[in-house]
Structure 1
Amino acid sequence: MSEPRGPGRHWGVEETRCLVSLWAEGAVQAKLESFRNKEGYALLERGLKEEGYERSSKQIQVKIRDLKVKYRKMKEETRRSGNGRPSSFVFFDDLDAILGTRPATSPASLLE
């Protein structure tokens, strides 16, 4: 029997991989970085749905927040320890490609 793919359950590795892959797309990143980031989450929701995963925009937003927190924690641990890429976080390289070149704060948000 296959694993249920609807809301209200733990995110599996393949579902998370699909989310990260969609998140890496330039159009999605542009929407998520804008003040209209709801459109970005809607794009991710549709993309996941096309792949057979049912998640709400809110669930996606929470998952992305959690992935960012884990990425930043691993990045800081790696920086402090001087070791290379953390082997315990499967999505580190993918998230580093998405988040690694971004400043910690947006200059535009500092001016407002």
Structure 2
Amino acid sequence: MESGAGKHWTEEEVKALLSVWSEKNIRKQLHGTLRNKGIFIYIAKRLQELGVCRDWKQCRAKYKNLKYEYRTVKYAHNSGDVTKTMKFFHDLDAILRYEPVTQLAAEENGRCSATETPPEWTEAKSEKDSIVVLSYIIR
């Protein structure tokens, strides 16, 4: 199989990637994970099921590029420049808008530069109902 490293992503391929990326379990796994090769292998497999032949490295590169472009446009909008835009902005906004800003800044700089204490998850289990309740705590 050819890697297609230089092959541009078609609009349909990007839509398929966004569709897989928007799934809750995928977002959850990608959020805060540094070693994510396994996730992108799974994403590439899912894309193949949808007729998109891309390997995990291509998926990861496209993910990073889309995320970077989204953050650039989002920052411009937050700074008052609403003229800056990108294709798929609204799709990406639906996926990424709830990520903590401190994590986005850390990823963008390639190192942890956050000054805030990272949030914590606590788990409470109800033995009666066997329901797991997660609560988000900010210190």
TM-score range relative to shorter protein: 0.7 to 0.9
Counterpart Cα distance in 1 of 2:57 and 2:81: 36
Report deviation, 1:37: 2.2
Larger Rg: 2
Q: Point out where structure 2 has 5 or more consecutive residues left out of the alignment.
A: 104-117, 120-139
Counterpart Cα distance in 1 of 2:93 and 2:72: 12
Structure 1 stretches of at least 4 aligned residues deviating more than 4 Å after TM superposition = none
Report deviation, 1:80: 1.6
Which one has a larger percent helix, Structure 1 or Structure 2?
1
Q: Would you say the 8 A contact 1:49–1:55 is kept in 2? A: yes
Report deviation, 1:105: 2.8
Are 1:89 and 2:86 counterparts?
Answer: yes
Partner of 2:108: none
Which one has a larger percent strand, Structure 1 or Structure 2?
2
Partner of 2:21: 23
Counterpart Cα distance in 2 of 1:98 and 1:66: 15
Letter of the structure 1 residue corresponding to residue 91 of structure 2: D
Partner of 2:113: none
Q: Would you say the 8 A contact 1:28–1:43 is kept in 2? A: no
Deviation per CA, 1:51-76: give whole Å up to 9, x if none: 11111111111111000110011111
Letter of the structure 1 residue corresponding to residue 22 of structure 2: A
Are 1:100 and 2:90 counterparts?
Answer: no
Q: How many matched pairs?
A: 101
Q: Point out where structure 1 has 5 or more consecutive residues left out of the alignment.
A: 1-5
TM-score of the superposed pair, with normalisation by structure 2: 0.64
3-state secondary structure, aligned to 1:22: helix
Partner of 1:3: none
Relative contact order: is structure 1 or structure 2 higher (C-alpha 8 Å, sep ≥ 6)? 1
Report deviation, 1:39: 2.6
Letter of the structure 2 residue corresponding to residue 98 of structure 1: I
Cα 1:35–1:81 change in 2 (3 A) is: closer
Report deviation, 1:81: 2.2
Letter of the structure 2 residue corresponding to residue 50 of structure 1: E
Report deviation, 1:43: 1.9
3-state secondary structure, aligned to 1:81: coil
Counterpart Cα distance in 2 of 1:82 and 1:54: 37
